Structure 1
Amino acid sequence: MKRLAPLLLCLPLAACGSFDGLFGGDDGPAIICPRILPVVEAEEMTRFVAAGRDLTEVDFRARLSDVRAECETDDEEIELTLQVILSASRGPANSEGAADFSYFVAVATRDEQILTRSEYAVSIPFEGNRTNVGLLNEVDVEIPLSEGQTGREYSVFLGLALRPEELEWNRQNR
């Protein structure tokens, strides 16, 4: 189940993160929840109109700003609730008044074999004269466990669902 709740974000807030908030240190509790990891090449997106690549042809920019997670586990499964915070900036070529894109959540084994991958479509409206807007999207992820397993055996990857040209743009402009 997912719930959408728009909220106004400033871009400097996007630099804050909590990807590492679920793990105990050497003296902390045992790791029962999976690691939550952003896919670095898919944390940001620049979408252009048509085949444009000029800055005046930017439709919008989007960013995976933050992820907060709550985890409950028993002997049979891990129930993970992710609060995914996305932000978008309106570009000069944006005539629709919204940023429409998707992000993904993938569950993988310790050796990075993808077990499940889900995409979530979002639409961030630029109401009035707002040019920077954020969205909180909550998703639930269930990971079945075999006997003796914990979250230590899994990772959860998040990123924006990029088109090939957007991925190439990210690689060239790092």
Structure 2
Amino acid sequence: MDRRDRNIGTPVRKSLLALGILALSGCSMFGGGQPANPATAALACPKIGIVRELQEVTQFRAGGKDMTDVTSRAAITDYSGNCEYGSDGVTINLNLFVLAERGPAMQGDQATYRYFVAVARPDEENPASKAEFETSVAFPKGQTRVVTKEELAPKIPLPKDANAKSWRVLVGFQLTPEQLNFNLAQIKR
């Protein structure tokens, strides 16, 4: 019998510097309504966090460095979902909402972004696993902003009746060193 926690809440951002390995390449508390079955009351979804320094990406045309050279920008703005416990672990049904914006130097009507989902064990800084994904966003004629939803289902293998509430799922854009430096400079302002 599968058990479900429907409460994936609002994001609170975590610092990249505290996450070690992610710097090279938030957590949210879940609460709300009580499960109908008291036996499942202690089982909860893992904590979800959008890594602050990796929450946005700005793409420049080749050789460009100022805002007139921006081809597109994107931000992970929110998430929602739930988790389902099974006999072999917990599956997190995660929806990421990405806001993309056309830049003044954009040619064409499409932008592509890379992002990641990492899973960290309780009390460990470095992720136990990390998967990268790519998404393309098409800008309809005359529209400069688009919101998309990415549907993901990372799974944490756990023994039966083990609780995933202390695990963390971290999300962010997969940035180049230049993009990361740009984000860090923007945060300092």
TM interval, shorter chain, is 0.7 to 0.9
Is 1:122 matched up with 2:114? no
Write 1 or 2 for the structure with the bigger share of strand.
Answer: 1
Counterpart selection for 2:51 from 15, 39, 43: 39
- Give the Cα–Cα distance (whole angstroms) in 1 for the partners of residues 159 and 43 of structure 2: 16
Which residue does 1:76 correspond to in 2? Answer: 88
CA contact (8 A) 1:24 1:30 kept: no
- Counting aligned pairs with the same residue, the percent is 34
In structure 2, the partner of 1:106 is 118
- TM-score, normalised to structure 2, is 0.76
CA–CA separation in structure 2 for the residues paired with 1:106 and 1:96: 32
Tell me if the contact between 1:104 and 1:119 (Cα under 8 Å) persists in the aligned partners: yes
- Count residues in correspondence: 157
Rounded to whole Å, the distance in 2 between the matches of 1:141 and 1:69 is 12
Unaligned runs of 5+ in 1: 1-16
Matched, 1:93 2:100: no
Runs of 4+ in 1 over 6 A off after TM superposition: none
Aligned-residue offset at 1:153: 3.4
Q: Which runs of 5+ in 2 are unaligned?
A: 1-8, 13-27, 36-40
CA distance in 1, matches of 2:161, 2:82: 21
Residue equivalent to 2:10: 18
1:63 maps to 75
Coordinate RMSD, CA, aligned: 2.1
Q: Given that residues 46 and 62 in structure 1 are in contact (C-alpha distance below 8 angstroms), is that contact kept between their aligned partners in structure 2?
A: yes
Q: Which has the higher contact order (CA 8 A, sep 6+)?
A: 1
